[in-house]
Amino acid sequence: MDKQTPLVELKNIELAFGGVKAVNDVSIDLYPGEVVGVLGHNGAGKSTLIKVLSGAYKADAGEIYVNGEKATINNPRDARSYNIETIYQTLALADNLDASSNLFLGREIVNKFGMVDDDSMEAETRKIMKRLNPNFANFKSPVSALSGGQRQSVAITRAVYFNARILIMDEPTAALGPQETEMVAELINQLKAEGIGIFLISHDIHDVMELCDRISVMKNGKLVGTENVADVTDDEILSMIILGKKPS
């Protein structure tokens, strides 16, 4: 795997909030068709690190490489232009708008007069939903009226629809029931097969061990280490999370 060019490489990323180093000299990478879990306690800096990649935060120092080339990501729009899509833990949906408006938010389909074409967007939304979540039927209501799972579907659909190459999932199953969690797991495997690289942020070790190829553990803003899932046990990872080191 190492001979390939990584899909994305974060090198020596640093970011401080008012003197507190939320992310301190962290480097991680991701290859095509790979799922890398980013693990750590609350406040370990995993979400912050990943928000640097998604453009929500700007790093104080460090570099990002996409397909081996240096990338400049100053805002979410930049990230999207590198085909980096993010599913946020909060889902980041505009609750007052319907599913298709949310799916296309910031990238609306317009007609030849430059007017937003709601009908085309709804038709596209119906098409992709049929594939990802055939039970989804409520295309007219604002998403505030939808269930947690349905809202998750909208957020996932939005990330997948626009040919994502790098997908960031921030606690994708935190708010879901077992059946919906299973659906997300299936989706991850499907996307993996398509060659998409996925960063999976979670603090559920069980989830991560099952879905990921590699795991990067963070503690207090620093990278503890990155391990192949095949080479470590749950206990070893747990020790990295809690103690900040692998038991010898």
* Contact status: 19 vs another protein (CB under 8 A): no
* Contact status: 70 vs another protein (CB under 8 A): no
* Contact status: 106 vs another protein (CB under 8 A): yes
Whose Cβ is closer to another protein: residue 80's or residue 214's?
80
Q: CA-CA distance, 189 to 86, in Å (whole number)?
A: 17
Contacts of 99 (CB under 8 A, 6+ apart): 125, 129, 136, 138, 139, 143, 146, 154
Size of the chain in residues = 248
Whose Cβ is closer to another protein: residue 25's or residue 117's?
117
Which residue is associated with the tokens 């998403």? Answer: 143
**In the complex, least distance from residue 170 CB atom to another protein, rounded to whole angstroms:** 11
Q: Which one of 1, 94, 137, 242 is in contact with another protein (CB under 8 A)?
A: 94
* Contact status: 137 vs another protein (CB under 8 A): no
Tokens of 145: 């009226």
**In the complex, least distance from residue 149 CB atom to another protein, rounded to whole angstroms:** 18
Q: Strand runs (DSSP E) across the chain, as ranges?
A: 8-17, 20-30, 35-39, 61-66, 69-71, 84-87, 166-170, 197-202, 214-219, 222-228
- Count the residues of the shown chain that bind another protein, applying the rule CB under 8 A: 32
* Contact status: 150 vs another protein (CB under 8 A): no
* Contact status: 71 vs another protein (CB under 8 A): no
Q: What angle do CA 59, 216, 155 make, to 5 degrees?
A: 70
**In the complex, least distance from residue 120 CB atom to another protein, rounded to whole angstroms:** 7
Residue 233 DSSP one-character state:
-
Whose Cβ is closer to another protein: residue 120's or residue 220's?
120
* Contact status: 244 vs another protein (CB under 8 A): no
| Cβ-contact 201, 47 below 8 angstroms | yes
Tokens of 121: 């967007």
* Contact status: 76 vs another protein (CB under 8 A): yes
Q: Which one of 115, 178, 179, 248 is in contact with another protein (CB under 8 A)?
A: 115
Question: Binding residues for another protein, per CB under 8 A?
Answer: 54, 56, 75-77, 80, 86, 88, 90-97, 101, 105-108, 110, 114-116, 119-120, 122-123, 142, 144-145
